[in-house]
Structure 1
Amino acid sequence: MQAHDLKFRKSSYSGARTENCVEVADLPEGAAVRDTQNRDLGMLAFPGAEWSALLRVLRS
């Protein structure tokens, strides 16, 4: 799956300042993350279990 095929949204964990934003897109079995300022550098894809574990850590 290519980044241009996904619907990215600004992460709620990103700061209010636009230069420190991360965008997230849902994948069929996980999530993709990219840097707002460097979209052309690609994305990181995480399997569902890893993404869930990351969110649990961020929330605690």
Structure 2
Amino acid sequence: MFGLFTEFETNLRRERQLEGIAEAKARGVYQGRKASIDTANVKALKAKGMEASAIA
């Protein structure tokens, strides 16, 4: 019986979290993590013929 209640509460918490994330995205606040690599640099290295493992 307790498992049923905890699962219900977990689902409610997940719904509230997703609603909050949707509101933040609508305001432009929640944009995710900034890129940690320079895509132009990666593309340049790939154009020079480097393999993905060497670039990484």
TM-score surpassing 0.5? no
Please give the TM-score of this superposition, normalised by the length of structure 2. Answer: 0.22
Q: Look at both structures and tell me which one has the larger radius of gyration over its CA atoms.
A: 2
Please give the TM-score of this superposition, normalised by the length of structure 1. Answer: 0.21
More helix by share: 2
